[in-house]
Structure 1
Amino acid sequence: TSYVHMLNATMCATTRVICAILENYQTEDGIVVPEAIRKFMPPGYNEKLPFVKPAPIDEQEAKKQKKGKKGDKPPAEPKEQ
């Protein structure tokens, strides 16, 4: 008897596999596609998946630096009542 393992992800937990690939194959500019799944990837993306947006943590850091440059004044002190 032959079993169909990839029908509806019956062989593995798909999200766990994706997380493992992302964690283990991440580089500075994208994700290196593991050799075993390159034949299933679309043309142009069979070796590396480039990042297309900056990481959210980089965006937050840029916003903090931008705010710091705008308001170089010290914060206003609370008024006494």
Structure 2
Amino acid sequence: STKIRTLNLQGRKTVISTWSRASVILPIMIGHTIAVHNGKQHIPIYITEQMVGHKLGEFAPTRSFRGHKKTDKKVKLKRRRKS
């Protein structure tokens, strides 16, 4: 919050890195880009009016879902024949 206040006074916009996913987005943060850590890397998030009141962690997902494992049909047929 103090970093954002000083940037607002100076009129500068720089990316601010943070590990605090539980921080609430305040109105003074609008227009800034905050890089939120997701456990592996910092994900840059541009703050808009609709985000005020939410937590920073809501916009930096920690898990990457790649879909359910596809089953191989050949292996499935072999298993059925054995039983």
TM-score (norm 1): 0.33
TM-score (norm 2): 0.32
Larger RCO, structure (CA 8 Å, separation 6 or more): 2
More helix by share: 1
More strand by share: 2
